[in-house]
Amino acid sequence: MPDKVAPIPLPEPRTDSDISVEKTLTMRTSIREFKKTSLTLSQVGQLLWAAQGMNRPEGHRTTPSAGALYPLELLLMAGEVEDLDPGLYRYTPEEHHLIPLLKGDLRKDIATASLDQAWVREGPAILILTAIYERTTGKYGQRGYRYVHMEVGAASQNLHLQAAAMGLGTVAVGAFHDDKVNALLHLPNDEHPLLIMPIGKPH
Ligand SMILES: Cc1cc2nc3c(=O)[nH]c(=O)nc-3n(C[C@H](O)[C@H](O)[C@H](O)COP(=O)(O)O)c2cc1C
């Protein structure tokens, strides 16, 4: 893939729906079996926005962040997403864009790196939450680590609830080999994978 690749704009996220937060809370459960149905670009955009999107003009996000330092990064591994080539993408909250990183369907490889958990490869897309700790530990020192871990939990719950509201499902996968995931995703040295979340229509 050439160095300079055009960002892919995502459809505007919706900020309202007919389903209540209370209803999504009753529906939330880990989903580990997915239908073969593809996701649309609009569904993917909505999920990314729910996890890390901007919800106010000053640049703050749907997920709270200690000191508004935003240590989390969000990657999309697309397998079967309409109008999007299989591959790895980085979400940019400010623009609500995807930056292409790697080409090809990498779901089987990340499932292998995740202790062969079958559900990791079976969702049409996977959201990967990573952290650049230094953004937070630079200000808060050792305490920054716990802040980052709290934040990834909040982002993952946003994803769970947004998925449920859309008739989709996900599971937070924390069991994987860091070194294998780092190598597969070509992550920079200061970026660390925290959660892998396959998403699709529940079976
Ligand atoms: C930090 C964290 C790590 C997890 N890691 C995995 C995992 O590697 N594989 C998996 O199948 N589920 C994983 N889960 C999902 C839990 O197994 C699940 O939330 C739990 O069994 C409760 O079920 P429920 O989510 O349906 O309420 C993880 C959950 C959390 C919060």
| The pair of three-digit structure tokens given for residue 188, joined into one six-digit string | 């920079």
pLDDT at 2 over 70: no
* CB of residue 37 inside a 6 A radius of ligand 1: no
Q: Is residue 4 domain-resident?
A: no
Q: Is residue 11 domain-resident?
A: no
Q: Is residue 133 domain-resident?
A: yes
* CB of residue 170 inside a 6 A radius of ligand 1: no
- What range does the domain containing 53 cover? 18-166+180-200
How many domains would you assign to the chain? 1
**Residues with Cβ within 8 Å of residue 62, at least 6 apart in sequence:** 49, 50, 51, 52, 53, 54, 55, 158
Dump pLDDT digits (tens) for 63-113.
999 999 999 999 999 999 999 999 999 999 999 999 999 999 999 999 999
The predicted pLDDT at position 134 comes to 98
Residue found by looking up tokens 């369907």 in the block: 105
* CB of residue 29 inside a 6 A radius of ligand 1: yes
Atom 19, ligand 1: which residue's CA is nearest? 30
How far does the chain reach from its first CA to its final CA, in angstroms?
35
Dump pLDDT digits (tens) for 64-73.
999 999 999 9
Q: Is residue 96 domain-resident?
A: yes
Q: Is residue 24 domain-resident?
A: yes
Cα(175) to ligand 1 centroid in Å equals 9
pTM above 0.95, yes or no: yes
pLDDT at 3 over 90: no
Dump pLDDT digits (tens) for 122-177.
999 999 999 999 999 999 999 999 999 999 999 999 999 999 999 999 999 999 99
Atom 31, ligand 1: which residue's CA is nearest? 172
Q: Is residue 44 domain-resident?
A: yes
Ramachandran assignment for 94, one of left (phi > 0), alpha (psi -120 to 50 degrees), beta (any other):
alpha
Assign residue 46 the CATH number of its domain.
3.40.109.10
* CB of residue 175 inside a 6 A radius of ligand 1: yes
* CB of residue 30 inside a 6 A radius of ligand 1: yes
Q: Is residue 151 domain-resident?
A: yes
Atom 2, ligand 1: which residue's CA is nearest? 174
